[in-house]
């Protein structure tokens, strides 16, 4: 059954490749750079369809702006969070070094907005607003998932930007919830502590591997290993695997959740391309995110 589920899911992914190399966001929809980048990484991790991977990387290069960014849609250049994804899709291909360099330069020049942290009595939100990470929309505040994706991308460069990565590490640790885990990026609002979610927690733990001490994230690893995170939905399953896999903790259950999520398409219909590709990539690599970007599987 797992082999059949995987084969059928890869077939769906492959059928979404357009003649220009880009991938449709879903069946019958237009292409999008995040879908193209995730599809390229998922196929690369599984060692499938090298010609489609090369075409996808070329399509991303064609969509890259002269300043290095990749916008979600051309009419919204500020929505440039797919830049980190494209950078990661290009990393295994030495021929894309110039694209990688321009994307990295844009990311480093466009961190999230920040301002001095207010006192405990004055602050509406509980986290340190002076720390810089990355954001979904250029000019907005830094949030957990885009910061984690940028860290994974920039951290894989031949010469990683140490200062920016160190500050982003401090940001993620500051946004960790008191009892473990992360959400989109707030800890307290009006003195109410918010709850974690598996996807954001997995992103943060994947990005912090090798940058934070195990003791600094022990409560978050325990949360992600707990039954409340054993959810067979594509993003929760994928990022549970990636988050635990980065710390050597992704067992067979993590892969099993990804397979269960893929199997659920028979009931709920096919996932969109980014969700499908992330779930496939997590299953293929057993949670080793580095295998998506040219590291050892």
**Token digits of residue 99:** 């694209």
Q: What does the pLDDT look like over 89-127, one tens digit per residue?
A: 999 999 999 999 999 999 999 999 987 876 665 567 778
Q: Which parts of the chain register pLDDT below 50?
A: 1
> Options 1.10.3720.10, 2.30.300.10, 1.50.10.20, 3.40.1550.10; which CATH number does 2-293 get?
1.50.10.20
Q: List, as one string, the DSSP characters of 2-60.
A: HHHHHHHHHHHHHHTB-TTS-BBSSTTS-B-HHHHHHHHHHHHHTT--HHHHHHHHHHH
Q: Name the residue ranges covered by the structural domains of the chain.
A: 2-293
Give, rounded to a whole angstrom, the gap between the first and last alpha carbons of the chain: 23
Cα-Cα-Cα-Cα dihedral sign, residues 30, 293, 143, 74: negative
DSSP code for 250: -
Tally of CB atoms within 10 A around 19: 7
Residues in the chain: 297
Question: What pLDDT, on a 0 to 100 scale, did the predictor assign at position 1?
Answer: 40
């Amino acid at each position: 059954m797992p082999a059949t589920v995987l084969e059928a899911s890869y077939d769906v992914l492959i059928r979404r490749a357009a003649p220009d190399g880009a991938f449709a966001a879903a069946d019958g929809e237009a292409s999008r750079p995040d879908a193209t980048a995730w599809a390229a990484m998922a196929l690369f991790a599984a060692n499938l369809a090298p010609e489609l991977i090369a075409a996808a990387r070329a399509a991303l290069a064609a969509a890259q702006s002269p300043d290095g960014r990749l916008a979600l849609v051309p009419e919204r250049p500020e929505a440039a969070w797919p830049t980190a994804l494209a950078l990661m899709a290009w990393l295994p291909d030495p021929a894309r070094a110039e694209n990688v360099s321009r994307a990295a330069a844009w990311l480093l020049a466009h961190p999230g907005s920040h301002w001095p942290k207010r006192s405990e009595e004055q602050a509406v939100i509980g986290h340190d607003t002076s720390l810089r990470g990355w954001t979904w929309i250029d000019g907005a505040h830094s949030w957990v998932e885009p910061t984690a994706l940028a860290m994974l991308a920039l951290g894989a460069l031949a010469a990683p930007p140490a200062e920016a990565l160190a500050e982003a590490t401090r940001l993620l640790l500051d946004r960790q919830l008191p009892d473990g885990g992360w959400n989109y990026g707030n800890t307290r609002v009006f003195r109410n502590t918010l709850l974690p979610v598996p996807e954001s927690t997995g992103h943060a733990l994947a990005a912090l591997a090798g940058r934070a001490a195990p003791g600094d994230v022990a409560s978050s690893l325990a949360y992600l290993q707990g039954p409340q995170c054993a959810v067979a939905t594509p993003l929760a399953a994928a990022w549970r695997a990636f988050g635990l896999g980065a710390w050597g903790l992704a067992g067979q259950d993590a892969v099993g959740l990804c397979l269960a999520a893929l199997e659920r398409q028979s009931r709920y219909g096919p996932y969109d391309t980014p969700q499908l590709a992330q779930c496939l990539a997590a299953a293929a690599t057993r949670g080793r995110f580095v295998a998506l970007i040219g590291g050892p599987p």
